[in-house]
Amino acid sequence: MSSSSALILFSSLLIFSLIYSQGNALSSNYYENTCPQVEDIVTQVVTEATKKDKTVPAALLRMHFHDCFIRGCDASVLLNSKKNTAEKDGPPNVSLHAFYVIDSAKKAIEARCPGIVSCADILAFAARDSVVVSGGPSWDVPKGRKDGRTSKASETIQLPAPTFNINQLQQSFSQRGLSLEDLVALSGGHTLGFSHCSSFNNRIHNFNNTHDVDPTLHPTLAATLKSICPLKNRAKNAGSPMDPSSTTFDNTYYKLILQNKSLFSSDQALLSNPKTKSLVSDFASSKDAFFKAFANSMIKMSSINGGQEVRRDCRVAN
């Protein structure tokens, strides 16, 4: 082995140990001998569910984000409330849905490989497949996560909020070992899905003492959002698609930010720091650059793990 090859190998091993030292060691071939067909099963379940309901991919991707940001990617977001109120019933998570897709995948996998595959891994596969089925990039999901036994609604306050400014976002991500590039790339998940009025109300009503509407929000979009989300007599599930191509995974999100047409304060905030603003411009001009960065950041985020077991039922600890 050459000295340069040895150095690259050493660097890779160092990065590997840094990422996985806090949880279980993950590997790309974890199920090679115990459940080789696991990813094919999840892909099939996600694809079939998406054919029946186009909102499934956005729901599964968001579910995975919300899982990883609380106690690591340990499927704690899947646990049902019992004696205590679980994460899924915390305020930011009440609009999560498509849990049945994970249940269906788990049932199919248990029939083939009982007691082998964690719910946390199934959710990580499903998030990747959701991006692929929507036209986005694919990546090799590291495997071997364990499922957690604890889930508390009170801890959902740790999730980054749509009202966050750039300093709050940076702190939230850095606490989880994620960089500013990870922040901008992972925010691109907002290319999929739908937002209820509550997530952007702060920008269109009583923004501050001087302005009713956030002055950085494009006036045309502001007028549209105010008509959809009036202060009084609002429709129960009123809201807006995250972007006009809300079922297609693309880089439209970044183009909208540059036009002041993003929905959340936390999206607009990416323009308030020179580095994040530069990355927004890079991703807006190159879908390939965004796809590559997103895949890398998903691998990094999905490797935060701290579970203890392989659940038999994804909704209940063993």
pLDDT at 235: 82
Name the band, by pLDDT with cuts 50, 70 and 90, for residue 214.
very high
66 is catalytic: yes
Q: How far apart are CA 160 and CA 152, in angstroms?
A: 16
The average confidence (pLDDT) of the chain is 92
Q: How far apart are CA 195 and CA 62, in angstroms?
A: 12
Q: Is 218 annotated as a binding residue?
A: no
* Alpha helices per DSSP H over the chain: 3-20, 38-52, 56-68, 99-112, 119-133, 166-174, 180-187, 201-204, 219-228, 252-258, 265-268, 274-285, 287-301
For range 260-276, the mean pLDDT: 97
- Name which of 166, 165, 237, 232 is nearest 196 in CA terms: 237
Percent of the chain with pLDDT over 70: 92
Q: Are 193 and 252 in contact (CB under 8 A)?
A: no
Q: Where are the domains of the chain?
A: 37-158, 166-298
User: Does pLDDT of 8 surpass 60?
Assistant: no
User: Does pLDDT of 181 surpass 50?
Assistant: yes
Name the band, by pLDDT with cuts 50, 70 and 90, for residue 3.
very low
Q: How far apart are CA 89 and CA 154, in angstroms?
A: 9
Q: Is 67 annotated as a binding residue?
A: yes
For 44-57, write each residue's pLDDT tens digit: 999 999 999 999 99
pLDDT at 24: 60
Q: Are 140 and 68 in contact (CB under 8 A)?
A: no
Q: Is 76 annotated as a binding residue?
A: yes
Domains 37-158 and 166-298 share a fold: no
State the catalytic residue, choosing from 66, 205, 211, 218: 66
Q: How far apart are CA 240 and CA 227, in angstroms?
A: 11
Q: Is 313 annotated as a binding residue?
A: no
Q: How far apart are CA 264 and CA 142, in angstroms?
A: 31
DSSP for 287-299 reads HHHHHHHHHHHHH
Q: Are 201 and 263 in contact (CB under 8 A)?
A: no
User: Does pLDDT of 201 surpass 90?
Assistant: yes
User: Does pLDDT of 9 surpass 60?
Assistant: no
User: Does pLDDT of 38 surpass 60?
Assistant: yes
User: Does pLDDT of 18 surpass 50?
Assistant: no
Domain 166-298 in CATH 1.10.3720.10? The answer is no
Least confident of 169-183, 233-247, 283-297: 233-247
For 236-251, write each residue's pLDDT tens digit: 889 999 999 999 999 9
* Alpha helices per DSSP H over 134-231: 166-174, 180-187, 201-204, 219-228
Our CA dihedral for 88, 90, 95, 100, rounded to 10 degrees, sits at 10
User: Does pLDDT of 13 surpass 50?
Assistant: no
Q: How far apart are CA 220 and CA 125, in angstroms?
A: 39
Q: Is 191 annotated as a binding residue?
A: yes
pLDDT at 311: 97
User: Does pLDDT of 7 surpass 70?
Assistant: no
For range 69-75, the mean pLDDT: 96
Identify the H or E element spanning 194.
strand 194-196
Q: Are 76 and 121 in contact (CB under 8 A)?
A: no
pLDDT at 15: 40
For 89-123, write each residue's pLDDT tens digit: 999 999 999 999 999 999 999 999 999 999 999 99
User: Does pLDDT of 59 surpass 90?
Assistant: yes
Class of domain 37-158: mainly alpha
